[in-house]
């Protein structure tokens, strides 16, 4: 174990002791053996002065002291007001854009180092006092020489060593959990931490964030739903990002939104529509949509438009994941529990040998009590928690590729219900999902799939030629006594084409002409003399 990792662990323990987080932990319904550990903690035998902080303040200050990984965890928790007491949620919400800033002189030094020029040479005006400060970076207002109002985002100094040591401890905790707990093993914590490691290191590269912002802006070009600020690429570097300054109302400023007569119902519904549009239409979604990254334009409050910033974390799904997710949601809200169970088995979430009838009954037991409520009162967070209770019986596993999606969905739900408590998430999402499913089987979509398959034909032909050349180089010279063996490579290729054609036909139906083409070519090669 490195010296840095040991020092980091001691710092974590110091913060726990300083803010009495062990007292908060022991109020939870923990197993008996864990509650007994309190007698083994030496500091609990020492006299301690009462902490003159509320529990929410203690949690917020502790997370701030522990740094970016823990701050981001607090940001996620702050969006779940249906799961947290109001006093704790209000305090954690301050982590979204009120993290203590670092020295502005360090910010100026880093900007000049990255841009290779003095701040005064690049900007007509640069505000030394930070406009906002977050866990990874802080932002300064400025004006370009050409007159555009911009913001300059700069990465905090000395982050990598802290993140590296925190991740080391997270990996250690994940490995211990996998070895000691069957339930934890189903969560695949090591894979989840690995995904998070990639995500947080990606956030340290502002050129990646700039590219994400440009893509998201292009996806919603001219849209009334979402506006994404313009990136000024000439002044972007790995640790500095310059983009258009936006003027809007923070989405959590409910009083200002009410004063300007914002249509709150439409605003909440549009948030859901933006989420499903990004996931299903674009397969490119903003995966860090906590309230500190979301504003509302002031121009048309009767038809409110969102403004999104901080595109450091984005997610995407494969077509298979998209199809699986849409079918699950539709079946789930139609209470077709057998379909939900079968989809889980088909997708590999539960083992293939799982008995569908038993799994269906378990899902029904979890879901029926929830569906007795009005749809607007159904919490996805509560539902996910209850569904996971079936994991012990059916070995259900959390899919790492969907972790970002699940987190984003929880953020959207928490935000939507904060804006409009009567939000009916399903009635907003259902038309979009059903329309998307219809479009997937439309003639236009099938024709597009055929075109994509046809574009692969030259590539497949070249692969086939390369394979045949390798086979011909490796096989011995055929003898006169074995003429029947001369065409075996072509017959082998033909068998592969037949198998591919049959599998494509089964999946894509008779409209997939590429499947028939593959089948015919394969038969011709097999029957060739």
With contact defined as beta carbons under 8 Å apart, do 130 and 166 qualify? no
DSSP summary character for residue 231 = B
Q: Is beta strand 226-227 parallel, antiparallel or unpaired with respect to 306-308?
A: parallel
From 170, 167, 168, 189, select the one nearest 178 (Cα to Cα). Answer: 189
Q: For residues 187-217, b (16+ Cβ closer than 10 Å) or e, as one string?
A: bbbbbbbbebbebbeebbbbebbbbbbbebb
Question: Distance between CA 282 and CA 148 in Å, rounded?
Answer: 30
Evaluate whether 306 touches 225 at the Cβ level (below 8 Å): yes
Whether 206 contacts 236, CB under 8 Å: yes
Give whole-number Cα distances, 77 to 163, 183, 201, in Å: 20, 22, 21
Among 406, 425, 436, 239, which Cα is nearest to 333's? 425
Q: Helix and strand tally (H, E) in the chain?
A: 25, 11
CA–CA distance, 41 with 188 (Å, rounded to integer)? 29
How many residues are given for the chain? 529
Query: DSSP readout, 141-185?
Result: EEEETTS-EEEEEEEPTTHHHHHHHHHHHHHHHHHHHHHH-HHHH
Spatial contact of 93 and 293, defined as CB atoms under 8 Å apart: no
Q: How far apart are CA 189 and CA 453, in angstroms?
A: 37
Q: Are the C-beta atoms of 473 and 483 separated by less than 8 Å?
A: no
Return the H-helix or E-strand segment holding 420: none
DSSP, residue by residue, 384-406: HHHHHTTHHHH-----GGGHHHH
Give me Rg for the CA atoms of the chain.
Answer: 28
Q: How many CB atoms lie within 10 A of CB 455?
A: 9
DSSP 8-state assignment for residue 279? I
* DSSP structure class, residue 66: H
Strand order in 306-308's β-sheet?
Answer: 226-227, 306-308, 294-296, 249-250
| Proportion of the chain in helix, strand, coil states, percent, rounded to 5 | 65, 10, 30
Residues 137/156, Cβ–Cβ less than 8 Å: yes
The SS3 assignment for 252 reads: coil
Candidate list 82, 166, 234, 288, residue with the active-site label: 288
Q: Is residue 288 annotated as part of the catalytic site, yes or no?
A: yes
> Which one, of 131, 124, 130, lies nearest residue 108 by Cα?
130
Catalytic residues: 288
């Amino acid at each position: 174990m490195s010296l840095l990792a040991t020092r980091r662990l001691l710092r974590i323990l110091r913060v726990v002791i300083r803010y009495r987080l062990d007292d908060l932990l022991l109020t939870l319904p923990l197993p008996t053996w864990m509650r007994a550990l309190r007698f083994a903690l030496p500091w609990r035998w020492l006299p301690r002065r009462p902490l003159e902080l509320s529990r929410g303040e203690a949690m917020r200050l502790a997370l701030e002291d522990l740094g970016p990984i823990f701050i981001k965890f607090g940001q996620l928790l702050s969006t779940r007001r249906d799961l947290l007491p109001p006093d704790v949620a209000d305090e954690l919400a301050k982590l979204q854009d009120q993290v203590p800033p670092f020295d502005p002189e360090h910010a100026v030094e880093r900007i000049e180092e990255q841009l290779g020029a003095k701040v005064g040479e690049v900007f007509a005006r640069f505000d030394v006092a930070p406009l906002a400060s977050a866990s990874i970076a802080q932002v300064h207002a400025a004006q370009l020489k050409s007159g555009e109002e911009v913001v300059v985002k700069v990465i905090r100094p000395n982050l990598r060593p802290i993140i590296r040591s925190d991740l080391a401890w997270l990996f250690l905790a994940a490995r211990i959990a996998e070895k000691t707990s069957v339930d934890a093993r189903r969560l695949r914590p090591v894979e989840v931490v690995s995904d998070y490691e990639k995500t947080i290191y990606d956030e340290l590269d502002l050129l990646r964030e700039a590219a994400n912002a440009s893509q998201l802006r292009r996806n919603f070009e001219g849209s009334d739903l979402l506006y994404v600020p313009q990136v000024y690429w000439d002044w972007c570097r790995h640790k500095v990002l310059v983009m258009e300054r936006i003027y809007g109302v923070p989405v959590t400023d409910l009083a200002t939104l009410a004063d300007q007569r914002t249509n709150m119902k439409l605003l909440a519904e549009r948030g859901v529509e933006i989420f499903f549009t990004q996931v299903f239409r674009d397969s490119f979604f903003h995966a860090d949509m906590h309230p500190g990254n979301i504003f509302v334009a002031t121009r048309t409050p009767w038809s409110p438009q969102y403004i999104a910033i901080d595109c450091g974390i984005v997610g995407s799904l494969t077509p298979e994941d998209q199809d699986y997710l849409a079918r699950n949601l539709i079946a789930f809200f139609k209470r077709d529990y057998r379909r939900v169970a079968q989809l889980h088995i088909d997708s590999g979430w539960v083992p293939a040998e799982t008995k569908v009838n038993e799994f269906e009954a378990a899902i029904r037991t979890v879901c029926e009590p929830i569906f007795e409520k009005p749809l607007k009162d159904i919490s996805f967070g509560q539902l996910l928690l209850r569904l996971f209770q079936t994991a012990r019986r059916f070995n259900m596993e959390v899919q790492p590729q969907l972790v970002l999606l699940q987190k984003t969905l929880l953020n959207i739900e928490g935000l939507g219900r904060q804006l409009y408590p009567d939000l009916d998430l399903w009635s907003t999402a259902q038309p979009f999902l059903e329309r998307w499913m219809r479009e997937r089987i439309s003639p236009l979509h099938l024709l597009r799939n055929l075109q994509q398959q046809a574009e692969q034909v030259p590539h497949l032909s070249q692969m086939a030629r390369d394979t045949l050349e390798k086979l011909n180089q490796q096989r011995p010279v055929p003898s006169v006594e074995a003429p029947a063996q001369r065409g075996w490579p072509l017959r082998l290729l033909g068998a592969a084409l037949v198998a591919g054609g049959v599998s494509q036909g089964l999946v894509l139906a008779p409209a997939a002409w590429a499947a028939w083409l593959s089948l015919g070519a394969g038969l011709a090669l097999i029957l060739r003399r």
